[in-house]
Chain A
Amino acid sequence: MNALISLTLANIRSFLRDRAAIFWTLAFPILFVILFGSIFSSDGPNAFDVGWVDQDGTPASAGLRQGFEGTGLLHLTDGDEQSTLAQMRDGDLDAVIVVPDGVGEVLLPPIGAGGLVGASGDQPVSLLLYTDPSQQTTSTTIQQIVGQVVSVTNQALSGRPPVLAVQPQSLQTADIGAAAYFVPSILAMALMQLGVFSAIPLVEQREKLILKRLGATPLRRWTLVSSNIAMRLLIALVQSVLIVGIGAALFSVTIVGNLLLVAGFIVLGSITFISIGYVIASYARTEESANALTSIVQFPLMFLSGIFFPIDFMPDFLRPIATLMPLTYLGDALRQVMVGGAPFAPLPIDALVLTGWLVVSFLISARFFRWQ
């Protein structure tokens, strides 16, 4: 145990003193997030597309509609609840407002947009407002706009208790927005690189006979391997916090899923790619060939895994390759658990495919890895 801790500490110290390693594992993914973020999340739309479901059908509700349109911030599309929610799920609408039956009873004849005189009512009637919390900016902006209109309406009926309220509802949409798409993707890419790049120091340590020297001590090999994995997992944690933090701070991409699931996939993904790194280190004899092999492995992974664009956008002949790539499933899983992205595969399948790659890579490196 003492040896495991000391070795892990030594690995971390070595890592922290290696500027190139720090750049590639920590700074590079962050630059990527910022770069992609500024390219894709150009200013949001001038008006939000909102579904309007009028179940009341009175002049009062029609007046309310005018009130919302009058803000100039919402572009309303009429429809029934089912069809507008379906449109929203598909990403065609940013939100849906449902005006329930009974609004007309609490609001008396509409005088004009934004100015209504109402009759008394004991219970406020609630408008249902569906938004997608994974799109934080859009969601909160729309909630604020709707809240403003409702409070102006209530104020117009001054002296009476509020008659209108808003009941927010959450709805996961398929269109998770560019930023929400690439933040989990870049996290997946960073974890992949962290794992695959573990081949390089391993081969370097073998070439410089550090592994051989360690082999001349009573240190057990599993302790050596465990400490390498422990160090990589710690770095993965730091990477994840940085990437998620920057995504949240600059592009309002927040984790909507279960944090434990997110952490679970980060760990599973990291270990899977570390074991792929060990496979590379099993075949690379020199540091140069390890460098070349990691590039050969990481570039197809990066571009054929739906990391930068959804697999649906790929030409047909590339899709079968994409469906084999482990990074496809890590990216898919992270998008699902982090921002509620539409699944490419169900989560258990993602976990299963990653575990499959892990087991196969482990067996290959257990058989072919050379210590000297």
Chain B
Amino acid sequence: MRGPEDAAGHGTAVIVARDLRKRYGAVHAVDGVTFEVQRGEVFGMLGPNGAGKTTTVEMLEGLRKPDAGQALVLGIDAAREPGRLKERIGVQLQTAALYPNLTVTELIDLFGSFYRRRRPTRELVAALDLEERKDALTKVLSGGQRQRLSVALALINDPELIFMDEPTTGMDPQARRSLWDLVRKLRERGTTVLLTTHYMEEAEQLCDRIAIMDHGKVLEMGTVSELVQRRFQELSVRFDARPGLEEDRLSALPGVSRVVREDGAVALYTRDVAGTIGGLLATSRELGQEPTNLAVRRATLEDVFLDLTGRALRD
């Protein structure tokens, strides 16, 4: 695997996953996953449902035993000493699991009683903006409040590493953004965060590094710009399709390597943006036209994902 972790050395790696494997019957849910997460990083695992993200995370949390491979988390073997590990990590499960008939404060107090080290309930209620709802039963909370409560529970033991599995799934955009702010605050405190998501934007906005997973394997890993640049050295020049600007004329323009038509628009992939645009404008003028909606665009994580898996990642 490429990436900065090889150079960083082992001193700062809080998660070391080595060739993790887990099978359910004939299905290889996790099929040889290797990566490292450094202290203080926000590390994202991006992939569609069923890619093996949750299973991988649960092996790292000590909730599932891998069939093969090793999960070293905070220097603890997650399969051998799950109890010692659980004392030091924070966990947010994919589905917020709560006691419906307890209040917010009662639930935080309850979870606090499970740990040796704990943050005061009042502090967490304030940090997660739950003050107005602290005496409400958890069953009457909104989706966003419930998710914040579930983050509060994950932070109860003041963990140095927190796992968040699909933290914003099912949230409205506003709640999603407030959770992103929360993750950023965690990062500022120096907490390491491993989160899984199937939202491109979330991975781009939040994560220092990303591992793209599909079919139980890590397909690619790195920062967003590394991932994009590794696959797409070219930029695309887009404009509305017009009769006359045919394929052969376009591909003959300077620097153009590929011409792609999508939804009434044309995209020219090029390494020479200036040359391509100059040629395009000259050709258009010859035809007595002017290209509309002309735009230059860098490839995105979505393009990388599409290129890697052959499908778009949408929920």
Contacts and interface: CB of A to CB of B under 8 A. Distances in A.
Contacts of B86: 216-218
Nearest to A10: B110
Interface string B132-164: 000001000000000000000100000000000
Contact of B87 (A7, A209, A212, A218): A218
Given A7-B110, A212-B93, A218-B87, A18 B101 contact: yes
Interface in B105-143: 106-107, 109-111, 113-116, 137
A2 interface: yes
Contact of B93 (A2, A17, A216, A219): A216
Contacts of B178: none
A372 B94 CA distance: 13
- Which label, helix, strand, loop or mixed, suits the secondary structure of the B interface? loop
Contact of A10 (B87, B91, B102): B102
B83 A218 contact: yes
A371 to B, nearest CB: 10
Nearest to A18: B101
Given A7-B110, A212-B93, A216-B63, A14 B99 contact: yes
Contact of A210 (B83, B97, B113, B114): B97
B259 interface: no
Contacts of A3: 113-114
Q: Max chain B CB contacts within 10 Å: which of A7, A17, A213?
A: A213
B299 interface: no
A6 interface: yes
B186 interface: no
A13 interface: yes
Contacts of B116: 218
A370 interface: no
Interface of A: 2-3, 5-7, 10, 13-14, 17-18, 208-210, 212-220, 372
Given A10-B102, A10-B110, A14-B102, 20 more contacts: A3-B114, A6-B110, A7-B110, A10-B107, A13-B106, A17-B137, A18-B101, A208-B95, A208-B97, A212-B93, A213-B91, A213-B153, A214-B114, A215-B63, A216-B61, A216-B63, A216-B86, A217-B91, A217-B115, A218-B115
Among all A-B residue pairs, the 10 with the closest Cβ atoms: A6-B113, A209-B97, A213-B97, A216-B91, A17-B101, A14-B101, A217-B114, A219-B114, A210-B97, A218-B86
